[in-house]
Amino acid sequence: MTIKEIQNYLGQFFDPVELEGEGEGLISAPAKIESAQKGQVSFVANEKYVKYLSTTAASLVIVHHSVAVDEFSHTISFIKVSDPYTAFVFILKKFATPRLVAAKGIAPTAVIGEGVTMGEGVSIGACVVIGDRCSIGRNTVIGAHAVLLHDVSIGEDCVVFPSVTCYDGTIIGSRVVIHSGSVIGADGFGFAPQRDGSYVKIPQMGIVEIGDDVEIGANATIDRATMGSTVIGRGAKIDNLVQIAHNCRIGEDTVIAAQAGISGSVTLGRQCVIGGQAGFAGHLELADRIQVAAQAGISKSFLQPGIALRGYPAQPMRDQLKHEAMLRNLGAMKTKLDHLEREMKELARR
Amino acid sequence: MTIKEIQNYLGQFFDPVELEGEGEGLISAPAKIESAQKGQVSFVANEKYVKYLSTTAASLVIVHHSVAVDEFSHTISFIKVSDPYTAFVFILKKFATPRLVAAKGIAPTAVIGEGVTMGEGVSIGACVVIGDRCSIGRNTVIGAHAVLLHDVSIGEDCVVFPSVTCYDGTIIGSRVVIHSGSVIGADGFGFAPQRDGSYVKIPQMGIVEIGDDVEIGANATIDRATMGSTVIGRGAKIDNLVQIAHNCRIGEDTVIAAQAGISGSVTLGRQCVIGGQAGFAGHLELADRIQVAAQAGISKSFLQPGIALRGYPAQPMRDQLKHEAMLRNLGAMKTKLDHLEREMKELARR
Amino acid sequence: MTIKEIQNYLGQFFDPVELEGEGEGLISAPAKIESAQKGQVSFVANEKYVKYLSTTAASLVIVHHSVAVDEFSHTISFIKVSDPYTAFVFILKKFATPRLVAAKGIAPTAVIGEGVTMGEGVSIGACVVIGDRCSIGRNTVIGAHAVLLHDVSIGEDCVVFPSVTCYDGTIIGSRVVIHSGSVIGADGFGFAPQRDGSYVKIPQMGIVEIGDDVEIGANATIDRATMGSTVIGRGAKIDNLVQIAHNCRIGEDTVIAAQAGISGSVTLGRQCVIGGQAGFAGHLELADRIQVAAQAGISKSFLQPGIALRGYPAQPMRDQLKHEAMLRNLGAMKTKLDHLEREMKELARR
């Protein structure tokens, strides 16, 4: 790809796209600014990294319009846009090779049930097992060893990595990515306690519904609803080892970092950001655009959109930071208290 | 199923089972009271939901004997029992369809070792791999892609979902359910530190033993013992992504919620309830019927049965709540202290 | 194995190795001192366990040179070394049977891509899927159902347990052990936020590199780098359900306990010990030999080697223990404050 071609490509997303330097050079790969070599493209989106412009061997660097580039080596070309980070993401996309290079069609070792329907261009990997009456949309790739139980529906242009398991009845939208080892639709953790201390299993009769453009990391678990659906909203991003329990509803474009755990029947709003290892008690609700700090423990509903939560039990960031400051100040309080006590004795003695 | 048939069925578990309304109506499915349709059965076990009795379209609702039903629509029939929640669980069971509908017998793509014994009615799914000398009890279903290493023993009427791995020597009781992705019997995390800072692996020569009626969620890990057995007691319920380390002993009917982590050689009593993301230090013991709050960190043994624990390091609920109240009160303490300080200055100046 | 043979074997690792008692007895298995039977070998490395020497039925016990053994049963032989614990680990190794007893060669149900190279003595289990251009070193065992995407390189003498997934490009050293369900090289969790609240996926173009002698537990996840490599240093030990995000660098011989989570671009030094469920914010660095307590939350870099960290946000052990002591003392502070307040009123009234 020539520099000029990259400029034209970015023109789809940004206006203007300014080129400084010659446009004929060939770019073979993207790279980090610290380690980029000749023939590579990199970017600087953060002031901290501007220093690398003096030393980088990159042939092309994407920067913000405001960066003065005259002082840097004439062997570097620059493309200036309003958001160099996102521009670089688009360049990465252009250079990305597909992770799963399955041949189109059905691997001879795959085991396909009865009444399965598949769109054009579907690719089914080695040893994949697909249950009866599943449907798989156009151009979807199912990696080796994935298992779909019966009546699973997957949309178009999805990528299901190896060893994913989808239980019966799961409904998955289009352009969904699910990484290896994730389990979608296992039974919710529901048991009715009996007088003798044992439990009777509550049959989990619902399903999981996953919207379009969702990405799910590796070894995550999303349980089916007891009745009805566990819902992952369009565009939500769920990291590795996240637990989403039965009957949860995750809002659109909500992001959940690794190892967070969402208990049963929790509703998260749209565009929330949940930190890693955060935990949620059951049956609560978060409004839209709420940010939850890593390791926080959410014990009740928060219905004001856009706030940030932190701590255990979690409270709004401002209150929590004040609380943490007070905790850090405990030593000073103790000193003051001891001092007062001495003064008091002094005074009482007078 | 007719309403009358449901009444008769519940008669196995409850006495009396009172029917109000006509008994001939056909019931096709269970549903939540908020969304139940004509021909469906639902329940109300909690006062909060009584309001839905005025508006539900359900044809049958299970309620407690004490609920006055005369005021509600004559199109609803009611069945009254002493525990409508558990009654509804039994109804769910009646309507539940099997999740794994494997054909009886051994799938042609399964790989079976030497000296394997299987009871009648066993079902082995596609691509299952079973090592030498395994034994599988009557009517047990092994889902696609499960792997049993050599010398694994599984009892009767178990359901092993797809992609479960059981390492060699694992012993599993009857009526056990293991969800996808769980790994039973991997090596305990044992390494002997050497003087040069490196580690020598401690061979993990024990096994895992799982009692009858245990249910294990998706992507959980239960490590084999270094020597002897890691034991999961009869009736224990273990949720998704739970970690149980080598040489643990989990008591009968103990429940462990998602993402909790139990370090090596911990002993939990019977009928304990462990909250999600709770963590346990190694080599400690909990008495029977202890409740541990979510995200708690248990750093020592607690030997008094029936207490509740909370916090980090965890302490009995009462102490911890008092402690948390005091923390919330810190601001007031500080105000009071500052006030006293001013007064003291005032007084000293006199 | 005779007692004399065990003495000779330990002579490879220790000098001197003293035998007390006769050396001809046959030893069939290692066992815990509490439960050892005739014909078994055990050890005592901790004063707490010396009491068992009076009652054990073991035929051979490994002890420290300093233990006076004359008083114990003449049916026990003793071998004395400077480190009985490590000596026993070596004995365990001697008695350990291989967990994966795959036949040498390639199982007929395995699916091997084009251009794959394998060393002598490689063992490929049932239904294993190996992508194009992978290379597998001498004597490496790949368990059933493991999936290697294209261009994966694995060294010599590795054991990959069933159902492990390695994404494309992963590089693994020699003598590495990876337990079932772990996913190596899935996409890092990188998404560029857009103005409308949605996200654009950042292509994850890097790889994972795992050094020699690493062991990885079950269901762990190690994400590939966005660009460059996520690096697991030689000798590191990673427990079950651990999350290691994109672009992390884990130092040599560093140990990470179960369910810990390391966010993106974190660098851990050599010989660190990370407790279970500990969490790390992104882009921070820990020096060598740092110890992190279980459940700690690390929110910034710590660059002093050898310190211990604890709490949330984590701070050096000494400060944190002082802080925790002060928290425990809050009740006393409150009492003192209330007392002072009363005295003050008294005094002001005079």
Is B342 inside a domain boundary? Answer: no
The encoded tokens of residue B252 equal 């009968």
**CA atoms lying within 13 Å on the CB side of residue B136:** 28
Task: Render pLDDT for B213-223 as a digit per residue (tens, 0 to 9).
Answer: 999 999 999 99
Going from the C-alpha of C208 to that of each of C179, C185, C199, C204, the distances in angstroms are 17, 6, 24, 11
Band of residue C314 on the pLDDT scale cut at 50, 70, 90: very high
Is C340 inside a domain boundary? Answer: no
Domain that holds residue B311: 105-321
Do C177 and C263 lie in one domain? The reply is yes
Do A243 and A263 lie in one domain? The reply is yes
Do B143 and B275 lie in one domain? The reply is yes
Whole-number pLDDT of residue A97: 80
| Residues from chain C contacting residue B197 (CB–CB below 8 Å) | 253, 270-271, 289
Query: Helix, strand, or coil here: A325?
Result: helix
The encoded tokens of residue B148 equal 């049993």
What is the C-alpha end-to-end distance of chain B, expressed in Å?
Answer: 90
Is B242 inside a domain boundary? Answer: yes
Do C68 and C117 lie in one domain? The reply is no
Other beta carbons less than 10 A from residue C339's beta carbon: 12
Band of residue B104 on the pLDDT scale cut at 50, 70, 90: confident
- The CATH number that applies at residue A305 is 2.160.10.10
Q: Taking a contact as any Cβ pair under 8 Å apart, which residues of chain A between 281 and 340 contact chain B? A: 281, 297, 312, 322-323, 326-327, 329-330, 333, 336-337, 340
* CA nearest neighbour of A246 among A297, A298, A206: A206
Q: Report the side by side order of strands in the sheet with C207-210.
A: C117-118, C135-136, C153-154, C171-172, C207-210, C229-232, C249-250, C267-268, C285-286
C56 touches chain A (CB under 8 A): no
Whether the per-residue pLDDT at C297 is higher than 70: the answer is: yes
Is C27 inside a domain boundary? Answer: yes
| Residues from chain C contacting residue A259 (CB–CB below 8 Å) | 243, 259, 261, 279
Question: How high does pLDDT run on average in chain B?
Answer: 94
Question: How high does pLDDT run on average in chain C?
Answer: 94
Whether the per-residue pLDDT at C346 is higher than 90: the answer is: no
The encoded tokens of residue C16 equal 């001197």
Do C12 and C41 lie in one domain? The reply is yes
| Mutation target among C152, C163, C165, C200 for the A interface, most CBs of A within 10 A | C165
Do B123 and B24 lie in one domain? The reply is no
Phi, psi at residue C223, to the nearest 5°?
-85, 150
Going from the C-alpha of A94 to that of each of A118, B303, C149, the distances in angstroms are 28, 61, 21
Is C337 inside a domain boundary? Answer: no
Do B261 and B146 lie in one domain? The reply is yes
What's the pTM? 0.95
- Cβ(B316)–Cβ(B298) below 8 Å: no
Sign of CA dihedral C283, C287, C292, C296: negative
Do C59 and C122 lie in one domain? The reply is no
C72 touches chain B (CB under 8 A): no
Q: Which residue pairs from C235-238 have beta carbons closer than 8 angstroms and sit at least 24 positions apart in sequence?
A: C235/B198, C235/B199, C235/C211, C236/C211, C237/B189, C237/B191, C237/B199, C238/C214
How many whole angstroms separate alpha carbon C179 and alpha carbon B307? Answer: 37
How many whole angstroms separate alpha carbon C88 and alpha carbon C62? Answer: 7
What is the least distance, in Å, from the CA of A259 to any CA of chain C?
A: 7
Task: Render pLDDT for B33-42 as a digit per residue (tens, 0 to 9).
Answer: 989 999 999 9
* ipTM of the complex model: 0.93
The encoded tokens of residue B142 equal 């092994």
Other beta carbons less than 10 A from residue C133's beta carbon: 16
| Residues from chain B contacting residue A200 (CB–CB below 8 Å) | 86, 89-90
Question: Is C240–B241 a contact, with Cβ atoms under 8 angstroms apart?
Answer: no
Q: What is the dihedral of CA A334, A338, A343, A346, to 10 degrees?
A: 170
Q: Which residues of A are catalytic?
A: 246
The encoded tokens of residue A126 equal 């080695």
Is A198 inside a domain boundary? Answer: yes
Reading chain A (350 residues) residue by residue, the pLDDT tens digits are 999 999 999 999 999 999 998 888 899 999 999 899 999 999 999 888 999 999 999 999 999 999 988 888 778 999 999 999 999 999 999 998 877 766 679 999 999 999 999 999 999 999 999 999 999 999 999 999 999 999 999 999 999 999 999 999 999 999 999 999 999 999 999 999 998 999 999 999 999 999 999 999 999 999 999 999 999 999 999 999 999 999 999 999 999 999 999 999 999 999 999 999 999 999 999 999 999 999 999 999 999 999 999 999 999 999 999 999 999 888 899 898 998 888 888 888 87
Q: Mean per-residue pLDDT for B209-232?
A: 97
> Which position has the token pair 């062997």?
A75
The encoded tokens of residue C223 equal 């994400």
- Cβ(A31)–Cβ(A41) below 8 Å: yes
Q: Give the residue from C73, C95, C117 where a domain finishes.
A: C95
Closest partner CB to A126 (pick from C111, C132, C243):
C111
Do C155 and C201 lie in one domain? The reply is yes
Do A144 and A28 lie in one domain? The reply is no
What is the least distance, in Å, from the CA of A149 to any CA of chain C?
A: 18
Is A338 inside a domain boundary? Answer: no
My answer on whether omega of the bond before B305 falls inside 30° of 0, hence cis, is no
CA angle A62, A66, A67 (to 5 degrees): 55
What are chain B's partners, defined as 3 or more CB pairs within 8 angstroms?
Answer: A, C
Q: Give the residue from A71, A95, A119 where a domain finishes.
A: A95
B343 touches chain C (CB under 8 A): yes
B74 catalytically annotated? no
Band of residue C102 on the pLDDT scale cut at 50, 70, 90: low
Give the number of beta-carbon pairs within 8 Å between A and C. 180
Helix, strand, coil share of chain A (percent; to 5): 15, 30, 55
Task: Render pLDDT for C31-43 as a digit per residue (tens, 0 to 9).
Answer: 999 889 999 999 9
The residue of chain A nearest to residue B127, with distances taken between CA atoms, is: A127
Q: Give the residue from A95, A114, A139 where a domain finishes.
A: A95
How many whole angstroms separate alpha carbon B132 and alpha carbon B244? Answer: 26
- Cβ(B277)–Cβ(B264) below 8 Å: no
Q: Mean per-residue pLDDT for C275-287?
A: 98
What are chain A's partners, defined as 3 or more CB pairs within 8 angstroms?
Answer: B, C
Q: Report the side by side order of strands in the sheet with A285-286.
A: A117-118, A135-136, A153-154, A171-172, A207-210, A229-232, A249-250, A267-268, A285-286
C92 touches chain A (CB under 8 A): no
Question: Is A111–B144 a contact, with Cβ atoms under 8 angstroms apart?
Answer: yes
Please count the residues of chain C.
Answer: 350
Question: Is B187–C99 a contact, with Cβ atoms under 8 angstroms apart?
Answer: yes
A347 touches chain B (CB under 8 A): yes
Sign of CA dihedral C131, C136, C139, C142: negative
Task: Render pLDDT for B319-333 as a digit per residue (tens, 0 to 9).
Answer: 999 999 999 888 899
B259-268, C21-30, C122-131 — which is least confidently predicted? Answer: C21-30
Do A133 and A258 lie in one domain? The reply is yes
Is B112 inside a domain boundary? Answer: yes
Residue in C64, C145, C246, C339 annotated catalytic: C246
Whole-number pLDDT of residue B182: 98
Q: What would you report as the CA-atom Rg of chain B, rounded to the nearest whole angstrom?
A: 27
Whole-number pLDDT of residue C101: 67
The residue of chain C nearest to residue A101, with distances taken between CA atoms, is: C150
Phi, psi at residue C50, to the nearest 5°?
-60, -35
Alpha helix positions (H), chain A: 3-10, 84-95, 317-328, 330-349
Q: How many domains does chain B have?
A: 2
How many whole angstroms separate alpha carbon A244 and alpha carbon B263? Answer: 23
Whether the per-residue pLDDT at C60 is higher than 80: the answer is: yes
- The CATH number that applies at residue B24 is 3.40.1390.10
Do B123 and B161 lie in one domain? The reply is yes
> Which position has the token pair 């190596």?
C184
Phi, psi at residue A338, to the nearest 5°?
-65, -40
What is the least distance, in Å, from the CA of B315 to any CA of chain C?
A: 11
